[in-house]
Structure 1
Amino acid sequence: MADINEAIKQVTEIVTPFDELEYEALLGEIQGNILKSHGRNHAVHLFLKFTGDPESVKQWIGNFSHKYVTSALAQAEQAKQHRQYEGEGQLFGNFFLTRAGYMYLGYNYEDLPNENPFRQGMKDTNIQNELGDDVEQWEDSFQQEIHALVLLAGDKIVGPRTQEAKLLERKNPELLHKQPALLAQQVEKIKTELANIATVAHEDIGYVLRSSETGAEMEHFGFRDGVSQPLFLKADIDKEKENSDFSKWDPSAPLNLVLFKDPLGKKDESYGSFLVYRKLEQNVKAWNKDVVNNLAEKLEASPDLAGAYTMGRFQDGTPVVLQNTESSQQPEENNFNYAEDNEGLKCPFHAHTRKVNPRGETPVPLEEEKMHRIVRRGINYGPLPSEEPETGAGLLFLCFQASLSNQFNFMQKAWAKERNFVRRDVGTDVVIGVEKKEKDNNGNLVAVTETYQWPTNWDESGQTEADFTHWVTMKGGEYFFAPCMSFLKSFAPAPTCNIVFRGVPKQELQAAQNIIDELRNYQQRNWGIGLNGETSEPDGFLRFFEQRNLPFKFYVRSSQVEIGDPSAYEEDIATLNKYIEDVRNQEIEASEYKIAELKEYKELYWAIGLNGDTLEPDGFVSFFGERELPFKFFVRSVVAVGDESAYEQNIATLNNYISFLCG
């Protein structure tokens, strides 16, 4: 890309990398989840406080990034493969750093991404005042210094029945609380790796709440979530245009809404994004009671309409400004503004969606107003809404932006918590305008109640005064930066790509070790490697390397030819040692996937060994056979083979195989 800076300013729509090659370099440098949600149903967030020496920490970051951190390009490729081939699900990873994290690694303050809130941190007194927070009300683990955030996300079942498992999960929300086996396994593995270089200061476990009927994302108060996001990819914009002509609201967004030049990137296309993380606890029981027993009764309205007045949309996502009843049979409606509701007789001015996205109601030009938008990537945590939790449940709020000052901080300070926005004395955002609690006369923390004006009757003159309490409490958070891929991967060498060999992996590892031993022998004798000294034909070393697409260094001294120098021995041995390590890691990773798959097949009581419908050998049989590992069948369909102990016996076999590889 000739002028990436100009491109960032001007591009409003970018195509996927499969439609056009122009943006592949840019997408390959940006972490995934920024331009488009990672789409997984489960996530774990690990907040790290580094303790090891900076070089060891960097080495771990590099290794983690090569294995887990997913670029926007890789995310798009995975999505395409999944759509076309129903391929195996893959874990998704992000890695973020705080200002303190950068400085722990040895970077100077002036070298960091230049945004004051990021450099100050969310615990800073001025930031606390600006956002209306109170750090004393945060969970203890958030009150300490945080250096980094690891995000790892995944879905249930990594094999060919992923979609079936997702559907079962949607129909039974209880399954949402159980992490996918692979995700849980890898998180524990990562924690073990971290033990020598960091402590896990805080951990959050998230899941996507979904409607059992439509599959739409929801939040704990029961409303559609993820509605009306800025759109960057042409495919997403085109899809939106199928239901909208954009006459009242254009959701497309320029890249400079979310991308910020990474000052430590290695390429012209090196961009990152600022991340806001806030743990927002929702008192579901009190909210439901307040909507039904207070607001709905006071307004003599249905609980559905009363709730829509608070959020700005009905629970199914229908904008209350468009109609006074929900309409789940219609496509999601996003092509609207508030031009025909100047008095707030349809949608109150303090409604959440109107406060944080006024859609042209501010005095500045619309395009300037739209640059205050954020890219939301939140996920739920805690007990299900059906349990009506009062504490310990809510939203893990994440959002990306190019400017903290002009986007999230502005939105929270000037819009959500400002009583005189968008009109004078309309009050704060009824949902997130006041996230901290007050102290009563006895010093106890209590939720803040505010008096608001509500439509007496939808779209009719007259308003009714009624109180409503802020049932969302901020429990902790921080500002992070999402570094570019070249920065993260620069800390460690990349693993061998496209490992190619035939035969049994254990035999391949031994063959590579034998070649190393033979190279040592040749080194002691100062014999040539790569070409036969007498015939100048390729020798066994060269053929071994070429068959595996490995780089080879020659060292030949004969009457016919002189190539290379004695350093070739050690370079080739180093190549093979890394190859052995990468083959082992690939085998360990593949085995861990199969263990996770077996665990989830066991949970669902699915057949293993033979497809329950066709009785053809399945992927488990192939996997075990290729490694000459014994396999136990368990099938209950047309035929009955084996028993339930087969799951655990096969898992034990793979664990023993992993132990061999590690040994």
Structure 2
Amino acid sequence: MAVSDETLAQPLEWRDTALWPMLDDLQGNILKGHGRDHTMNHFLRFDSAKIAAVKGQIQAIGTQVTSAIRQLHEAEAFREFGRPGGTNVFFFLSASGYAKLGITPPSGDAFKNGMDSRSLGDPSMSEWETHFQHIDALLIVADDSVTKVANAAAHLTARFQTSGIEIVGVDAGHALRSDPSLNEPKGRGIEHFGYVDGRSQPLLLVDEVQREISLEGEFSGWDPQFGPGDAALVRDPGGKTPDSFGSFLVYRKLEQNVRDFKLREKALAAELGLTGDDDERAGAMVVGRFEDGTPLISAPAATDPNPTPNNFNYDDDPLGLKCPIHAHVRKVNPRVPNDAEQRSHLMPRRGIPFGDPDRDLEDEDSFPTGGVGLLFMAYNKELERQFEVTQQFWANSFDFPNGTAHGADGIMGQGINDDQMWNSEYGEPGEEKPFRFANFVTMRGGGYFFAPSKSFLKTLIQ
């Protein structure tokens, strides 16, 4: 019996054995992040004259792709016994990849036409790094050791060249982490500007929801529970079972200019008259959280929480007097309680930083102006409804979410040429000052992909 839409409309109890056939056919990393600290992301192009050989290679990879059920069992073994999991492998096709294989792709105009055709404020494709141009597939290999990732990738790709698959480029991802703690034994994920990253995720599994409740209590501020059938899963038209699912993947390489970002933080603090310990609030006004993860809506100073709070909303701050309307985390998740339409645009994110993971994040003299950043990845049920709304109509907009022109998102907003408005006081009306904080994150390329079911991959030439 096929898994019902009603079951998929709420977090899944993955230990229910009735769901295991579906989870065995679904690629991992969709319902829960793989958690590995290193990845090699291979961008592939197919030789149209060797499609039979290409299909054979994809089918071979399909036998190696990590299933959702395997990933979840490995994650449980790590939590309970400290037993590390193995190398994870994930495979994706673009619309052009489907076309070269002669297979009808999943439907959707955004996927069909490609990221470069959409109105996202991005640089033109001619300015993208060349390995993002005209890509047919993406292969991701992930593990907690650079050596293990490299060895596994070499084995998987050994016959690509003779089989009509060209590796046109590789992005290497390396996680950045804070110091380990009791609740975060590997440390909290951070990004190159120095801020805790990865919170406010839609939670698609019952055990993830229960863990959140154990850390923060019942959801009185913001409810992170989402049904995977609403947020991520798409029935795979090429799958071989009634419960074959996939998901649309957004991939964007976002380069960060850390030095200029930090200098601009200081300039904003000076403009607003924030001095001494209070000067850190300038950066928190841009991001919406302090570097340690303290939400600005909750406190005017960092409190080093553990875990990083997530159970909050902005109901008592409609004018943005505590947390600016245009702060990054408020822009991309406005947290309006019981607003089903607004929640429908959120998506599970699975990004990882790129660039030197060992650099000193506190050494101002060595702050990079490029070469580091975030490999943004997010799974979507509908690209147009989820990612494209949050990028085009939320992050890039000057008047979202409350209809007043306070400014665009200073982190994710693209092509910003106007000042945002900043309140100099915390929690009460003060002098609003115009100040432009933008363009320290540059989109270097990306694409839309689909994560097919394992049964599709394993039977490609049958």
**TM-score scaled to structure 2, two decimals?**
0.92
Residues 38 and 143, structure 2, Cα contact 8 Å, conserved in 1: yes
What's the secondary structure of 1:380's corresponding residue?
strand
1:186-205 aligned at under 5 Å gives the runs 186-196=152-162, 197-205=164-172
Q: For 1:477 and 1:311, locate their aligned partners in 2 and report how far apart those are by CA, in whole Å.
A: 23
Are residues 1:262 and 2:236 paired?
yes
Tell me how far 1:134 sits from its aligned partner: 2.5
CA deviation string 1:440-484 (max 9, x = no partner): xxxxxxxx5531211211112124312323200000000000001
Are residues 1:347 and 2:323 paired?
yes
Q: For 1:48 and 1:3, locate their aligned partners in 2 and report how far apart those are by CA, in whole Å.
A: 33
1:583 maps to which residue? none
1:200-211 aligned at under 5 Å gives the runs 200-211=167-178
Superposed CA RMSD: 1.8
2:295 maps to which residue? 319
Tell me how far 1:421 sits from its aligned partner: 1.0
Residues 248 and 337, structure 1, Cα contact 8 Å, conserved in 2: yes
Q: For 2:333 and 2:78, locate their aligned partners in 1 and report how far apart those are by CA, in whole Å.
A: 34
1:138 maps to which residue? 128
CA deviation string 1:466-512 (max 9, x = no partner): 2323200000000000001110111379xxxxxxxxxxxxxxxxxxx
1:366-385 aligned at under 5 Å gives the runs 366-383=339-356, 384=359, 385=361
Tell me how far 1:329 sits from its aligned partner: 3.9
Are residues 1:90 and 2:86 paired?
yes
Are residues 1:246 and 2:251 paired?
no
1:451 maps to which residue? 419
CA deviation string 1:330-360 (max 9, x = no partner): 4321111111001110010111111111111
1:544-623 aligned at under 5 Å gives the runs none
Q: For 1:136 and 1:427, locate their aligned partners in 2 and report how far apart those are by CA, in whole Å.
A: 28
Residues 2 and 243, structure 2, Cα contact 8 Å, conserved in 1: no
Q: 1:289 aligns with which of 263, 266, 290?
A: 263
Q: 1:115 aligns with which of 98, 108, 119?
A: 108
Q: For 1:80 and 1:29, locate their aligned partners in 2 and report how far apart those are by CA, in whole Å.
A: 19
Q: For 1:329 and 1:249, locate their aligned partners in 2 and report how far apart those are by CA, in whole Å.
A: 17
1:234 maps to which residue? 206
2:13 maps to which residue? 15
Q: 1:56 aligns with which of 44, 49, 53?
A: 53
Tell me how far 1:389 sits from its aligned partner: 1.0
2:444 maps to which residue? 475
Q: For 1:99 and 1:340, locate their aligned partners in 2 and report how far apart those are by CA, in whole Å.
A: 45
CA deviation string 1:559-601 (max 9, x = no partner): xxxxxxxxxxxxxxxxxxxxxxxxxxxxxxxxxxxxxxxxxxx
Q: For 2:355 and 2:3, locate their aligned partners in 1 and report how far apart those are by CA, in whole Å.
A: 46
1:308 maps to which residue? 284
Tell me how far 1:132 sits from its aligned partner: 4.0
Are residues 1:149 and 2:138 paired?
yes
1:510-549 aligned at under 5 Å gives the runs none
Q: Which amino acid aligns with 1:481?
A: F
Q: Which amino acid aligns with 1:203?
A: V
- State percent identity of aligned pairs: 38
What's the secondary structure of 1:193's corresponding residue?
coil
Q: For 2:32 and 2:329, locate their aligned partners in 1 and report how far apart those are by CA, in whole Å.
A: 21
Q: For 1:104 and 1:425, locate their aligned partners in 2 and report how far apart those are by CA, in whole Å.
A: 45
Decide whether aligned partners of structure 1 residues 329 and 478 sit closer, same or farther in structure 2, where only a CA change above 3 A counts. Answer: closer
Q: For 2:250 and 2:198, locate their aligned partners in 1 and report how far apart those are by CA, in whole Å.
A: 16
Q: Which amino acid aligns with 1:373?
A: L
1:484 maps to which residue? 453
Tell me how far 1:241 sits from its aligned partner: 0.9
CA deviation string 1:69-118 (max 9, x = no partner): 111111112223334454454100100000000111111xxx31111100
**TM-score scaled to structure 1, two decimals?**
0.64
What's the secondary structure of 2:59's corresponding residue?
helix
Tell me how far 1:375 sits from its aligned partner: 0.8
Residues 63 and 492, structure 1, Cα contact 8 Å, conserved in 2: no
What's the secondary structure of 2:285's corresponding residue?
helix
Residues 154 and 183, structure 1, Cα contact 8 Å, conserved in 2: yes
2:184 maps to which residue? none
What's the secondary structure of 1:24's corresponding residue?
helix
Decide whether aligned partners of structure 1 residues 239 and 113 sit closer, same or farther in structure 2, where only a CA change above 3 A counts. Answer: same
Residues 81 and 87, structure 1, Cα contact 8 Å, conserved in 2: yes
Residues 282 and 472, structure 1, Cα contact 8 Å, conserved in 2: yes
Residues 376 and 397, structure 1, Cα contact 8 Å, conserved in 2: yes
Q: Which amino acid aligns with 2:206?
A: K
Q: 2:377 aligns with which of 384, 395, 398?
A: 398
Q: Which amino acid aligns with 1:352?
A: H
Decide whether aligned partners of structure 1 residues 44 and 429 sit closer, same or farther in structure 2, where only a CA change above 3 A counts. Answer: same
Decide whether aligned partners of structure 1 residues 252 and 487 sit closer, same or farther in structure 2, where only a CA change above 3 A counts. Answer: same
Q: Which has the higher contact order (CA 8 A, sep 6+)?
A: 2
Q: Which amino acid aligns with 2:369?
A: E
2:67 maps to which residue? 71
Decide whether aligned partners of structure 1 residues 83 and 336 sit closer, same or farther in structure 2, where only a CA change above 3 A counts. Answer: closer
What's the secondary structure of 2:150's corresponding residue?
helix
Structure label with greater radius of gyration: 1
Q: For 2:295 and 2:80, locate their aligned partners in 1 and report how far apart those are by CA, in whole Å.
A: 35
Decide whether aligned partners of structure 1 residues 391 and 354 sit closer, same or farther in structure 2, where only a CA change above 3 A counts. Answer: same
Tell me how far 1:304 sits from its aligned partner: 1.7
CA deviation string 1:228-279 (max 9, x = no partner): 1000111110111111311121100012211011111111101110000000
Tell me how far 1:288 sits from its aligned partner: 0.5
Q: For 2:306 and 2:54, locate their aligned partners in 1 and report how far apart those are by CA, in whole Å.
A: 51
What's the secondary structure of 1:376's corresponding residue?
coil
Decide whether aligned partners of structure 1 residues 131 and 5 sit closer, same or farther in structure 2, where only a CA change above 3 A counts. Answer: farther
What's the secondary structure of 1:104's corresponding residue?
helix
* Structure with greater helix percent: 1
1:566 maps to which residue? none
Q: Which amino acid aligns with 2:268?
A: L
Residues 234 and 245, structure 2, Cα contact 8 Å, conserved in 1: yes
Q: 1:184 aligns with which of 150, 153, 166?
A: 150
Q: For 1:88 and 1:454, locate their aligned partners in 2 and report how far apart those are by CA, in whole Å.
A: 46
Residues 4 and 268, structure 1, Cα contact 8 Å, conserved in 2: no
Tell me how far 1:141 sits from its aligned partner: 2.3
Decide whether aligned partners of structure 1 residues 472 and 3 sit closer, same or farther in structure 2, where only a CA change above 3 A counts. Answer: closer
CA deviation string 1:605-660 (max 9, x = no partner): xxxxxxxxxxxxxxxxxxxxxxxxxxxxxxxxxxxxxxxxxxxxxxxxxxxxxxxx
